[in-house]
A and B are shown apart, each in its own frame.
Chain A
Amino acid sequence: MNDEMDEIISEFITEAEESLDRIEPLFVELEQKGEDKVLLNDIFRSMHTIKGAAGFLGFQPIVDVAHSSENIMKRLREGEIPLARELMDVILKSIDMLRLLLAHLKSKDGVEEDVGPLVKELGLALTNALSKSGGTPPTAHAAKPVEPQAHDESLPKSGETIQHVNTSDPICNTSERSSDVPHQKTATVPGTESPEHLTEDVKPVPQHEENKLKSVEQTPKSSPQKPKESAQNLRVDIERIDKVMDLAGEVVLVRNRLLNISHYFDLKYANDPMTETLMTTVSFLDRVTSEMQLAVMKIRMQPIKKVLSKFPRLVRDMSSSVNKDVELIIYGEGTEVDKSVIEHIGDPLTHILRNSIDHGLESAEERIAKGKPPKGNIIINIYQKGTQIVIEISDDGKGLDIERLKTKAVEKGLITEEEAERMSDETATEIIFMPGFSTKETATELSGRGVGMDVVKTNISLLNGYVEVETEKNAGTTFKICIPLTLAIIQALMVEVSGAKYAIPLSPIEETLKVSKEDIENVTGQNVIVIRDKICPLFELNELLGTGCNGHDDIESVHKYLVVIAMGDKKFCIAVDKLIGQEEVVIKSLDGVDTASSYVLGATITGDGKVVFILDVTSMSRNLIGVGKN
């Protein structure tokens, strides 16, 4: 029973959060559209539902906040009060509070928020709005939280008891109660204002025959033909899906092993008819496994909309506090991405968005002076390109000031003056991602918080992705984020160093080279190699990983194999002893390993059954060449 309860609670939290995610952008839409009944209804219903379920689960603070907020929504919906910014602000505050309360429930930290002040504020906002609009004076309950109700024998709204209706047959009581129903005209039920009911005398209608008159054509306008779609959904615990994902990964690994083994048999017993059967069977398994892998991956995919839903609100709040008029346009919010992308992409996107509003866009006056429309635009465009998800965030602001970036980076000692001079404009845009570049001092309260854009880069690297910046003076800046479709399975190059195998994700590898040891030069303590007239820093994998062996013990070999890694327009080489070949690997994450410092992304099991570390080239590039010299 307790497990059951835990499950229900966790389901409630998820569902309530989803509801909030869904309605939050509606508020902004509402503010733009004015009093839109459909929107108001939608929001009202979600609040109502959260309140209802929270009541069952005994989460009184949630009930109180949702109830007070819903009170305002109801008056708005019924047109009793006009939609004002102050009301919207306080309702949005209640959404934030609900999120906070849900977060506490989720983390089971037992922290209790005092919702009293907010409930009071909500009540007060309603009172003010009502007195302004000259509507009916609010009753006291608007300002005070509902009393906890353990049973259904009391009216939460007016405090009036309807006990006799509840405990006896309601039908018999209708007529006697009809006399004390003052506001029958306001009996607005979403989409069901059937005129008969408003004019009709209240009378018991138990006989269904009478109801036949109000026949089927009464179907409300709000019943679109899309029930099938939602009816086919199944809510499954993520752990179960991840288990399947994990097992599918294992199957992939076994498949790889089987492929290896069958090739061995194919060579050795080429004439045995059973070999052919084996080969056919294995190739079938191969195909099915690939399909299964894709299918399982798809289970975890969700529309990215989930992450984007909070942005209209963010833009609204921010644009008013920096006093810039901003329009946010989002394309491709239906694009599906892996759940882990959903979980980790929110912060970087938020950060970029804040940055664009704060630093990218100019003030209205400045824009007018430049001959631009006063309203700034930010466009988020999301699409799938091959096996990658691309997210572009563009503003039509002033663009990055390359010279200023360079000067500041030099001031902060992130790069030397010569480096600054040599830097191409493209490379210079990368400065904003350098750790320590944007600091509290330079950032405003909005984009600041002491974390810089380097966090954006780090978070995106965690998803095996990368970010690029394109900027043009006075035309705007575009941040382009590319993330692989799935994080679980990647193509990798298998290499060997000091007898141990490692996997290097294939996507950032530009090429592999076989060079003579003599070709490696040393410039001021840094090994480099010249590739097609360009100098490229070279690192020994052994040294990077601190394996203790230095790789030079293999004196006989005069050759080195280099893996050239390209990140953006920067390159570096990793020297290894041997290149083994390409393999599809399933990433198994390693708990408790700091991937950034150990350069290990995870582990995998290879076709021959060995555990192999997968190297994290993104953090290598960041540590080795991202911050200049070590």
Chain B
Amino acid sequence: MIDQNMKILVVDDFSTMRRIVKNLLRQIGYSNIDEAEDGVQAYLKLKNGGYSFVVSDWNMPNMDGLDLLKKIRSDPELKDLPILMVTAEAEKEKVITAIQAGVNNYIVKPFTGEVLKDKMDKIIEKLQVAK
């Protein structure tokens, strides 16, 4: 079962993008959404706990999505947190770097709510199977 009330953190430096992603998340039934505008802020929020899912942009100032991902994976408290990476284009190299760093899946802009739901469902199902 997927918990529609899980707390999701949307990370993007462009506020319009955060809003778009939040909107899409709402469309597919998630309403408990918080946002952060770069990796540094996101990490601070995540450290405070309570988040079950991260949707993060790649390109950001201060700390980009990849570094956030690495930081989360190397943090004993957060390492199992599912992360969906948003990229503007699926450059192979980048995707591979992200996969190496332990991203759960990635999604290419622009995407629809359905695609987002599909990706998220897959990640969550997989994690539940693993448990």
Contacts and interface: CB of A to CB of B under 8 A. Distances in A.
Given A56-B110, A183-B93, A235 B15 contact: yes
A215 B109 contact: no
A52 B14 contact: yes
Interface in A198-214: 200, 202-206, 208, 211-212, 214
Interface residues of A, number: 68
B89 A155 contact: yes
Interface in A36-83: 42, 45, 48-53, 55-57
A211 B19 CA distance: 32
B63 interface: yes
Interface string B88-111: 111111111101111101111111
A568 interface: no
Interface string B30-64: 00000011111100100000000000011111111
B93 to A, nearest CB: 3
Nearest to A74: B91
Contacts of A223: 39-40, 62-63, 67
Interface in A139-193: 149-152, 155-157, 162, 165-166, 169-171, 174, 177-178, 180-181, 183-184, 186-187, 189-192
B95 A165 contact: yes
Contacts of A524: none
Given A162-B90, A222-B62, A227-B44, A170 B95 contact: yes
B5 interface: no
Contacts of A11: 15-16, 19
Contact of A170 (B14, B44, B105, B109): B105
A271 interface: no
Contacts, number: 177
Contacts of B90: 152, 155-157, 162, 165-166
Contacts of A222: 61-63
B106 A170 contact: yes
B28 interface: no
B73 to A, nearest CB: 4
Residue among A12, A42, A223 with max Cβ neighbours from chain B (10 Å): A223
A189 B64 contact: yes
B17 interface: yes
A473 to B, nearest CB: 48
A16 B59 CA distance: 15
28 contacts: A4-B23, A19-B14, A51-B88, A52-B17, A53-B16, A53-B20, A55-B88, A152-B115, A155-B90, A156-B108, A157-B90, A162-B90, A165-B90, A166-B90, A171-B99, A174-B99, A186-B93, A187-B96, A190-B64, A208-B80, A215-B74, A216-B75, A219-B71, A223-B40, A223-B63, A224-B62, A227-B40, A230-B38
Given A151-B112, A226-B62, 13 more contacts: A11-B16, A15-B15, A45-B60, A166-B90, A178-B96, A180-B92, A184-B96, A203-B100, A211-B101, A216-B71, A218-B74, A220-B67, A222-B62
